[in-house]
Amino acid sequence: MEQNIIIFAGICGVIGILYGILAALWVVKQDKGTARMQEIAAAIQEGAKAFLSREYRTVALVAVFLFVLIGIFLSWLAAFGFLLGAAGSATAGYVGMMITVRGNLRTSQAAYTSLRNALRLAFRGGSVAGLLVVGLALLSISIYYTIAKSINPKEAFYALIGLGFGCSLMSVFARVAGGIYTKAADVGADLVGKVEAGIPEDDPRNPAVIADQVGDNVGDCAGMAADLYETYIVTLVAAMLLGKTVFGAESAWAFFPLLLGGVSILASILGTFFVRLGAKQYIMGALYKGLAAAGIVAAIAFYFVSVWFIGKFVPESKDALAFTPWTVLLTAGVGLVATGLMMIITEYFTSKGFSPVKMIAKASTTGHGTNVIAGLSVSMRSTMPPGLVVVGAILASFALGGGFRGEVDVGLFAIGLAAASMLSMTGIIVAIDSYGPVTDNAAGIAEMSQMDEKVRANVLDPLDAVGNTTKAVTKGYAITSAGLCALVLFAEYSRAFEPFGIEKISFELANPLVLAGLFIGGLLPFYYGSRLMLAVGKAAGGVVEEVRRQFREIAGIMEGTAKAQYGQCVDIVTKGAIKEMILPSLLPVASPILVGFILGKEALGAMLIGVIITGLFLAISMTSGGGAWDNAKKFIEEGMYGGKKSDAHKAAVTGDTVGDPYKDTAGPAMNPMIKVVNIVSLLIVPLLAR
């Protein structure tokens, strides 16, 4: 019954991977530019590869330890799934990043021809990561479920939880380590280079400039790819598990999310061909065309897939489900609409064209403190619209599933379908996100190689400015989808004890253990975020001291007659990031285990709710606020309020320095943290039920 669906999903995964390979081959064939440009790009590539190699070696030690523990105490099938998930997440991040660090050089050279060509190359480079992420993810689920079922049919679904845990753990490490690296380098470079020395952001005289360029890739590209790879897999697995729990392991509804994922890969591939500039040269509009095209094609495909699925499987399985093809389409449409709304909302709060960013820029004219106050105000206010979108998505999908008519479990499954639908756009979303570090690096290479000023001003700077917005927009999407995914995981957790003879557990507020769990869950994101912010500050301090030392001791560095020692700063942030990533990354693994075994399953379930609520809003606040601070600085650099080197600009740099670890370290790292807590809780259910 489910075999046809699994085969279809696997084929679509292979198509996504093939598209990524073909796009990568096209990118590397493009003109690489001058020898100086190639030298700079090679240094970025070398730094990125060295950092990921050290990061992955560290993660491998942790993974082997956890593999043994899962195998001994839980299930060897789940343990091998854990290894596969971690390897898949690492591969998606590594391969995608290695293409973007090649696309940046070629985008710089393409800027000599036209804005259109540079945009096409930057987006095509980003699309490699996007389609590889979804292709590898869908193929992993399809293959591993088939293998697990052939070995032990009773453990096949449980093995998928192990797969999800592996993805989640790798994602946490990638987000934490990459986030610490990128922002420590960025903050250190800005504080000494821009503020103290008064030189441009990507000036080759700044010893931290290569580390900064490397950080854009290991944080925004490899980190985001690993994050959304994990979110994609965990969401599909959660929806499948909930379908199995609600309708039974033999029901075809448990595999319906794979159909949505499969057709969405094809839709995302088609969407990439619609990214093109119009007459108004609106870059963000060109990217939105691709997203809109992918969403429309996916929605149409969802309807026809639903007609086929319900006609073929539902009568045979005798599921008492009120879904019709139109109801399924509307439920999936809830996820697609939520995706579109999140993109628009995040752009409003982070783009230079709207009032929040302009307000922060204006506040910079009265000093550093007023800039920070305005930025914090925007960051807190930015949580309300996304929160209402999540509430609307929950209520709409629950209603479409019949939840308000008494079919509560079916309504919860409908929320899972909406979340799976939202994540079905992951391919093109990651492509849009990876466009950001490509253009950021391209602008940096242009600055360091002293490319023609007109080309930089007319092509690369506009592309880079939009890249800041795309990175913020995709982070908003990732956070919202993580919130919906976590709710589905929680719904499955509350029902996961039934096979062990334990009735569905309840979370009464009159129970002090439930209240304790809520408070513990609520505080975890704040403590987690504080560790990451502190880690960035400590590593950035080392960069600041090193840059100051080189400016002081290397004669001729400011005159351009002596070369900066870039490797020193790269080494400082690499060591700092690897050292500081361990404790925050293991916190979401250890906390559900401790709460579950000390306070019990009810307290653990309540803790999950607390983590979801505070983690979701804290992440939105940080990413949107940080993006607004960043673009307020760029708004002033374009000539507003005195332009570069003005007092307003200095205040804006301060705000951006605060916002950098907000938007690129602590905020994005909340996504995998929320899901790791939930997936570990599901994984240990057999132990808690004993």
First-last CA distance in the chain: 33
| pLDDT score, position 132 | 86
Per the model's pLDDT, the better-predicted residue between 313 and 311 turns out to be: 311
Residue 128 DSSP symbol: H
- Both structure tokens of 63: 């993974």
Tokens of 492: 């499955």
Q: What is the per-residue pLDDT for 320?
A: 43
**This model's pTM is above 0.85:** yes
Reported as a single tens digit per residue, the pLDDT across 389-421 is 999 999 999 998 888 887 888 888 888 889 888
Instruction: Give the pLDDT confidence of 36-51 residue by residue, as tens digits.
Output: 888 888 888 888 888 8
Q: What are the C-alpha distances in Å from 545 to residues 314, 521, 548?
A: 66, 38, 5
Q: How far is CA 155 from CA 190, 191, 258, 631, in A?
A: 52, 54, 19, 49
The pLDDT value given to residue 314: 64
In whole angstroms, what is the distance from residue 354 CA to residue 350 CA? 8
Q: Residue 1: what pLDDT?
A: 59
> Under 8 Å CB-to-CB from 375, ≥6 apart: which residues?
360, 625, 628, 629, 632, 655, 658, 659
The confidence score (pLDDT) of residue 15 equals 95
Of 237-246, 334-343, 464-473, 501-510, which range is least confident? Answer: 464-473
Average pLDDT for 231-251: 85
Alpha carbons 277 and 356: distance in angstroms, whole number: 26
Give me the pLDDT at residue 95, please.
81
- Backbone phi and psi for residue 175, each to the nearest 5 degrees, phi listed first: -70, -45
Q: Above 50 in pLDDT, residue 318? A: no
Is 500 or 5 the better-scoring residue by pLDDT? 5
Cα 543 to Cα 409: distance, rounded to the nearest angstrom: 53
Among 252, 229, 406, 261, residue whose Cα is nearest residue 332: 261
Amino acid at residue number 488? V
DSSP string, 382-431: TTHHHHHHHHHHHHHHHHHTTGGGT-HHHHHHHHHHHHHHHHTTHHHHHH
Structure tokens, 369: 């403190």
pLDDT in tens, 329-375: 888 889 889 888 988 898 899 888 899 999 999 999 999 999 999 99
Q: What is the pLDDT of residues 294-311, one digit of tens each?
A: 999 999 998 898 888 887
Q: CA 35, CA 31: separation in Å to the nearest integer?
A: 12
Tokens of 220: 């925004």
pLDDT digits (tens, 9 = 90+) for 633-656: 989 988 889 888 889 998 998 898
Q: What is the tens place of the pLDDT at every residue in 184-219?
A: 888 877 777 777 777 776 777 888 888 877 777 777
pLDDT band at 315 (very low <50, low <70, confident <90, very high): low
Residue 222 half-sphere exposure toward CB, CA atoms < 13 A: 34
The residue-averaged pLDDT of 662-683 equals 89
Rounded to whole angstroms, the Cα distance separating 421 from 233 reads 12
Burial class of residue 284 (count of CB atoms within 10 Å of its CB; 0-12, 13-18, 19+) = middle
On whether the CB atoms of residues 237 and 81 are closer than 8 A, the answer is no
List, for residues 78-98, the tens digit of each pLDDT value.
999 999 999 988 888 888 778
Distance between CA 260 and CA 305 in Å, rounded? Answer: 8
Tell me the pLDDT of the chain averaged across its residues: 86
